[in-house]
Chains A and B, each alone.
Chain A
């Protein structure tokens, strides 16, 4: 075991020598998490298309309230036709139409309707909850104000202001509304999912990039020389795998801590997150060992970076899996990436624990076991014959 440790240590030492490697290992992932968080972080907030043809203060107030909401973004559109179009094309996730007579109808105590448009077959419960909360909130004040003005407590305009003040002083109602709105997206910070997919992407990319060192070790005859010492082929293979695993783990743990310290990423249940990182580090190690054993020169290893980026894209590390068509989602699951990303998404979004991501863990460990078994066999063969 001492010998395996020595081999693992040499691996890590060699990697630490490689400035470019270190940059890819530790700096680039963090930079990308930052960039993605800043540019697309908002992209995870659903967009609500808003058509408001009414020009009164109540209609504007409603739209302003929606715009003020953190958990959705609004996109103002000109008419109902454009809105339906946008919903159908996916330009917005859902939409509302505030009728032209909104203010008039409310003031006169008529019943008014806000049309909520959602794409067929999709649940937009999160958006609807938010919209409903705001509408209910306004309706409560309207009712209070009408009640007051009918009882001769001034005109409607004054009354509704008073109603707003009263409501502000009894925050109980508002808090309930807000909590409901937030709970749907609990823990989903701007950087969270970006960080998870970058973690998966980079652990794999860097593991495969480090195969060059293994190919070189073999090609130079260093592995065979190890065999001339009292070190068995099994130990050599174990040492090479251990070195790679430790580096992949180191990178994973680093990204987790850096992202949480720098960007406040909440990785959910620590146990589940650790298990996922470990499982994916094993997968990456297995893949690296496999290519390190079967490729015969360092030039061939050049193809591994495009390959690992391709797998990452297919596995949902670049665009969220939800955006994929159902067929593509199925295909995506031939990559270990998809399972890892899915696992992280679960624990980050819904605070899932070990039990909820058991399937993902089992599949990842399956990948790891198969890859490591094939790789060990091939590597042993390549150094002993």
Chain B
């Protein structure tokens, strides 16, 4: 599946200084709930930009505005120098959108699904035929091209879901949590695909709530929570936010809520939050404060089973920035 890189031809050269995607000031409310409150970022050709945030952070809403699926309350989206409006053919044609759901017709074949979306992109018949063949090869679906997609495995559907977005040779690929509910093997294949596409010069917008994916794929990451980008930069830049702080991960049993609250009230602890089977802490000079930590936990009717001082990572950055765990 890494063959995608060689067959992508419509991607502008990365020497082009203008960003492929430039969006700023995006806002969207549902009723009086602010889903996105002033989000903006740029993505250059060949760059992969990650939106990392928990469920409900506003990732899908942001992406929907970027792709023109959703009217925005405020803000601007410019793709390839063309402003995106609901009726803008040029800007939309430059985007390949991979929805979080499997947005394919179950009762049509893989080829028919591709053909249908090719038509909607206004591609010529010959081009659709040619390009469908390429996509089916790339996604490893060539020998199942004429089968209804409801007979496909989950992984195959995912691959087709992505393939449809690549059919019309977009210069910006937008993926909304493409690995949710995917088996590890398909997930690896998808990540490999994205890397290859990016290597071939495609601009990629990738949303996820998996820290590992953001760390592996993304040249730059925007940490998003409650509709705002809390911090943005390369992994190195983001980790620097932690400064001298360490990320300590405790495995523990007992009253974790109470223990986390007790720890958070300690002067030395910057952030404390509990997971299902443990507690995450951000603090400076972890080794010096360890005895105090263990004692506090014990007093709160919980018991620590193991202590890990973790390499500074984006999860810790998220915790430091929001006081919350990325995953619950």
Residues of A whose CB lies within 8 Å of any CB of B are: 2-3, 6-7, 10, 13-14, 17-18, 216-217, 220-222, 224-233, 384-385
Among B65-73, B191-199, B276-284, the one that faces the other chain is B65-73
The answer for the CA separation of A13 and B99 in the assembled complex, in Å, is 24
Chain B residues near A217 (CB, 8 Å)? Answer: 105
Known: A220-B103, A221-B101, A384-B70. A6 touches B120 (CB 8 A): yes
Judge whether B70 and A221 touch: CB under 8 Å. no
Judge whether B87 and A231 touch: CB under 8 Å. no
Judge whether A229 and B92 touch: CB under 8 Å. yes
Smallest Cβ distance from A247 to chain B, in angstroms?
A: 15
The answer for the CA separation of A385 and B92 in the assembled complex, in Å, is 18
Judge whether B101 and A220 touch: CB under 8 Å. yes
Judge whether B99 and A225 touch: CB under 8 Å. yes
Known: A13-B108, A13-B112, A14-B107. A226 touches B101 (CB 8 A): no
Judge whether B105 and A14 touch: CB under 8 Å. yes
6 chain-A/chain-B pairs, Cβ below 8 angstroms = A2-B122, A6-B119, A10-B116, A221-B103, A229-B93, A230-B88
Chain A residues near B64 (CB, 8 Å)? Answer: 224
Judge whether B105 and A10 touch: CB under 8 Å. yes
B102-155 CB contacts (< 8 Å) to partner A? 102-108, 112, 116-117, 119-122, 148
The answer for the CA separation of A226 and B120 in the assembled complex, in Å, is 7
Judge whether A220 and B102 touch: CB under 8 Å. yes
Judge whether A18 and B97 touch: CB under 8 Å. no
The answer for the CA separation of A231 and B95 in the assembled complex, in Å, is 13
Judge whether A222 and B119 touch: CB under 8 Å. no
Dominant SS among interface residues on chain A: helix
Known: A10-B108, A384-B69, A384-B71. A229 touches B120 (CB 8 A): yes
The answer for the CA separation of A217 and B101 in the assembled complex, in Å, is 12
Residues of B whose CB lies within 8 Å of any CB of A are: 64, 67-71, 86-89, 92-93, 95, 97, 99-108, 112, 116-117, 119-122, 148, 164
The answer for the CA separation of A241 and B257 in the assembled complex, in Å, is 54
12 more A-B residue pairs beyond the given contacts A224-B103, A225-B97, with a C-beta to C-beta distance below 8 A: A7-B120, A14-B105, A17-B107, A220-B106, A221-B99, A222-B103, A224-B69, A224-B99, A225-B99, A228-B97, A232-B86, A385-B71
Smallest Cβ distance from B272 to chain A, in angstroms?
A: 38
What total of A-B pairs shows CB separation below 8 Å? 78
The answer for the CA separation of A216 and B71 in the assembled complex, in Å, is 23
Which of B71, B86, B164 is the most central at the interface, judged by chain A CB atoms within 10 Å of its CB? B86
The answer for the CA separation of A200 and B55 in the assembled complex, in Å, is 49
Judge whether A227 and B68 touch: CB under 8 Å. yes
Chain B residues near A14 (CB, 8 Å)? Answer: 105, 107-108
Chain A residues near B121 (CB, 8 Å)? Answer: 229-230
Chain A residues near B117 (CB, 8 Å)? Answer: 225, 229
Judge whether B120 and A385 touch: CB under 8 Å. no
Chain A residues near B119 (CB, 8 Å)? Answer: 2-3, 6
The answer for the CA separation of A125 and B1 in the assembled complex, in Å, is 82
Chain B residues near A229 (CB, 8 Å)? Answer: 92-93, 117, 120-121
Chain B residues near A232 (CB, 8 Å)? Answer: 86-87
The answer for the CA separation of A225 and B148 in the assembled complex, in Å, is 19
Judge whether A231 and B99 touch: CB under 8 Å. no
Chain A residues near B92 (CB, 8 Å)? Answer: 228-230
Chain A residues near B89 (CB, 8 Å)? Answer: 230
The answer for the CA separation of A216 and B69 in the assembled complex, in Å, is 18
Chain A residues near B106 (CB, 8 Å)? Answer: 216, 220
Judge whether B107 and A228 touch: CB under 8 Å. no
Known: A13-B112, A230-B93. A220 touches B70 (CB 8 A): no
Smallest Cβ distance from B321 to chain A, in angstroms?
A: 30
Chain B residues near A231 (CB, 8 Å)? Answer: 120
The answer for the CA separation of A321 and B121 in the assembled complex, in Å, is 50
* Nearest-CB residue, chain A, relative to B120: A229
The 8 closest A-B pairs by CB, nearest first: A228-B97, A221-B103, A230-B89, A229-B120, A225-B103, A221-B101, A6-B119, A230-B92
Smallest Cβ distance from A153 to chain B, in angstroms?
A: 84
Chain B residues near A17 (CB, 8 Å)? Answer: 107-108, 148
Smallest Cβ distance from A99 to chain B, in angstroms?
A: 72
* Nearest-CB residue, chain B, relative to A15: B107
* Nearest-CB residue, chain B, relative to A383: B69
The answer for the CA separation of A233 and B86 in the assembled complex, in Å, is 9
Judge whether B104 and A222 touch: CB under 8 Å. yes
Judge whether B105 and A227 touch: CB under 8 Å. no
The answer for the CA separation of A384 and B104 in the assembled complex, in Å, is 18
* Nearest-CB residue, chain A, relative to B164: A225
Smallest Cβ distance from B5 to chain A, in angstroms?
A: 23
